[in-house]
Amino acid sequence: MQKKPSLPRRSRVDLTDPEDTVLAHFAARKLKNSPSTFGNTDLAWLSLLRDTRHLDLSGTHVTNEGLFYLNNLHHLTSLNLENTPIDDLGLEYVARLRTLERLNLKNTRIGNDALTHVSKLLKLYSLNLSSTNISDGGMIYLSHMTALTNLDLSFTSVTDRGVAHLITLTHLENLSLDSINISSTGLKHLANLTQLRSLDLAGNMVNLGIRHLTGLKKLQRLFLDRTNIASRGISLLSAFVHLTHLDLSGNRHLLERDIAPLVALKSLKSLDLRDCNLEDAELAHVGALTRLQYLNLADNSSISDAGVAQLARLASLTTLSLKNTATGDLSAPLLSNFTQLTHLDLENCPISDVGIARFTTLKNMEELNISGCTISALCLSGLVTMKRIRFLKLGTEDFDGRALNELAYLKNLREIALSVNSDGDAIFQTLAKLPKLQSLSISGDEISDKGIMHLSAFTGLTSLEISGAKITDRGLTHLRHLKKLERLALPFCSKLTFRAMDTIVSLTKIRELDLEHVPVGNRGLAKIGQLKHLQKLYIIATGITDPGLLSLRHLRELTDLDCSRNPITGKGVRHLFHLPHLEKAAFAGTRIGDHGVFSLSGLKFLRDLNLSQTSISDRALLHLSSLHLLKFLDLSATKVGNTGMSHLGKITHLSSLNLKGTNVGDDGMEFIADLYRLVSLNLQQTKVGDKAIAHLSKLKILDSLFLNSTHISVSGLERLQTALPITTID
């Protein structure tokens, strides 16, 4: 039993006291507006609102001790603790909430002991345990929770042995087992869960094990992405006649005969085939699924107009993605017949103005992405009938400002992203005619102060990005009227100086600020330090030095910080200990060294760290081993080697690791094998060879592996592809 924490400020509180009432409601507002700074004391005051039924503490810094205050909430039915620093001890307090029905513990540090407490919550019907430390040993406690209808065990150490304990949970309707290394043996245990309606098996090598699930007659949603499923496995899918949603994305070895059995799924409404290496022939079978409303064919570069032509019968489509395919103008007449479309993604497709001009029939369109297509302003004539469109991404460099007048007809447009090539200033006059615009992203070196002056009329903007423009400090003053602005990005606006920061600090609602390649220096950073509610700050290549980082000490709500490409050292990094809520940090191309990493070791909530192209060595990794929540780590082009890998093996939450261009070899892979949650691993330009195959084969949920310029042979590569469900290998 933990020591009972004391109440804040005084030992007794009373909601009849006006001061206590104010403090309780203040805590509620803080939780809503600034969760990253919400802690135990705030929860103590919030707990005075005893009629609270739903409490979302995700992303806060409430600890085990703070959970004591939940005992005041006798009517609580829903509790979200995702991404909080709690562990098994804290669940002792949660177990007292006998009215609890929904509990989210995703990405916390709990283990099997926590389940002894969770199992006491007899009314619980929804439980999320993904990305936690639970394993087979704790699953016996879940077997008693027979009221459960929703359970998520994704990215845990649970295996077939643990899954066997689920057979008693006969009321389960939704089960997620993403990347837990379940096999055919484990799937056999799931056959008894006859009430299942949704099953997520992504990242597991299931294939023929699917045969054990054919008796699940109520199954409607099945996720098999990244499973390396092949012909015989897919042939079994024809038995799931009630399926409405199927995800096969990332299975890159599918052939025409593999897709053919899908035609039996007459009830299918949603199909995801992204990144499956599909060709035109396979789409003949997809075109037979006439009830489809959602279809994702993105990242299948071999799909052309001939393949799209076979989708003609899909008249019910509302969402279609052909991103990064070879879809061109010949497909435009067919696409124009899909009059129910609300979302269409054609990014990087070779479609031109001629094709887009055919889209006048798509009057229900709400989101359209034609970025990277071979278009000009002439294509806009095909968009003017899209009166409902809310999001439009153009992203071309062939537009000039005056040619975009057609946009003025899109009165419901809330978000737009585009690039302009000539007369960029004129575009702002057109955009000013869009009364509902909330998000604007625009780039082009023809944008100057003359155009920026029109932004003062955009008082509804909450997000603004101006990239590569020629605007000056004086021009930026026109942003002072944008009082609702929460995100401001000015990357590569290199004519701005530290004086422009006076305008920026007047925008008190700013939560995210991007000044990449803007030469603000230390003087500008000192002004930025006045933005007390800033949560994300990107100051890449801004000319700041060690003394400048001291100015960040007042940004207590900061969660994301990128200081890359600046001449800062370990001395400057020491100032960051004032930022207790930092979760994502990047120092690529700096000189922070091993000593700087020691300073970072005190930032216990770091989940994403980029130390690429720094001079750190193995000694630095010893300090990183204390960052237990770290999930993404980039050590590329550093001096780390095999010795350092022994320290990384202790960071068991790692899901992405980049070791490109390091001194790591076969011996280091022994420790990498302990990182059982790794999904992405980059070993390019390292000394790794075939001796590492045995260790790498233990990474059972590895999805992406990069091996270019290593010593691994062709036969070794084939062994890896057989042993692991890898969808991306280079």
Cα–Cα distances (Å) from 635 to 195, 538, 644, in that order, read: 46, 20, 11
Of 103, 128, 153, which closes a domain?
A: 128
359 inside domain: no
What is the Cα–Cα distance from 45 to 39, expressed in whole angstroms?
10
Give residue for tokens 């992504």.
202
For the chain, how many residues are written? 730
CB 448 within 8 A of CB 469: yes
Tokens linked to 221: 């949603």
702 inside domain: yes
641 inside domain: yes
What is the Cα–Cα distance from 126 to 147, expressed in whole angstroms?
9
**Sequence-separated (6 or more) residues with CB below 8 Å from residue 714:** none
**Nearest Cα to Cα of residue 391 among 345, 326, 329, 458:** 345
pLDDT for the residue 384: 86
pLDDT for the residue 399: 66
Note the pTM of the prediction, 2 decimals.
0.86
| pLDDT tens digits along 61-109 | 899 999 999 999 999 999 999 989 899 999 999 999 999 999 999 989 8
Which residues of the chain are under the pLDDT cut of 50?
A: 1-15
715 inside domain: yes
* Residue 686 burial (CB count, 10 A): 26
Counted domains in the chain = 2
Residue 195 has, within 13 A of its CA and on its CB side, a CA count of: 14
What is the Cα–Cα distance from 127 to 109, expressed in whole angstroms?
15
- Counting Cβ atoms within 10 Å, is residue 532 exposed (0-12), middle (13-18) or buried (19+)? exposed
DSSP 285-298: HHTT-TT-SEEE-T
Of 128, 154, 176, which closes a domain?
A: 128
DSSP 517-569: T---HHHHHHHHTT-TT--EEE-TTS---HHHHGGGGG-TT--EEE-TTS--B
In the chain the first and final C-alpha atoms are separated, in Å, by: 51
Rounded (10°) CA dihedral 315, 321, 324, 329: 30
Give residue for tokens 């699924």.
289
- Domain of 7, CATH number, reads 3.80.10.10
What is the Cα–Cα distance from 574 to 550, expressed in whole angstroms?
9
SS3 145: coil
What is the Cα–Cα distance from 323 to 331, expressed in whole angstroms?
14
pLDDT for the residue 419: 84
530 inside domain: no
Amino acid identity at 686:
T
Question: For 179-338, where are the alpha helices, taking DSSP H only?
Answer: 184-190, 231-235, 256-259, 283-286, 305-308, 332-336
What is the Cα–Cα distance from 660 to 271, expressed in whole angstroms?
35
**Nearest Cα to Cα of residue 201 among 210, 192, 193:** 210
**Sequence-separated (6 or more) residues with CB below 8 Å from residue 146:** 168, 169, 170, 171
For residue 488, list its beta bridge partners.
464, 513
pLDDT for the residue 456: 87
pLDDT for the residue 15: 46
CA 533 to chain centre: 23
For residue 245, list its beta bridge partners.
221, 270
Of 128, 150, 181, which closes a domain?
A: 128
155 inside domain: no
Rounded (10°) CA dihedral 177, 183, 188, 192: 0
* Own/partner pairs, 159-162, CB within 8 angstroms, 24+ separation: 159/135, 159/186, 160/185, 160/186, 160/189, 161/136, 162/135, 162/136, 162/137, 162/138
**Nearest Cα to Cα of residue 560 among 545, 576, 542:** 576
Instruction: For 368, list phi and psi in degrees, rounded to 5.
Output: -135, 130
133 inside domain: no
Tokens linked to 556: 């207590």
* Residue 459 burial (CB count, 10 A): 11
Q: Report the helix count and the strand count for the chain, using DSSP H and E.
A: 26, 29
Tokens linked to 154: 């994704």
Domain encompassing residue 656: 596-723
Instruction: For 620, list phi and psi in degrees, rounded to 5.
Output: -65, -35
Nearest-5° Cα angle at 25, 22 to 30? 120
10 inside domain: yes
What is the Cα–Cα distance from 578 to 596, expressed in whole angstroms?
15
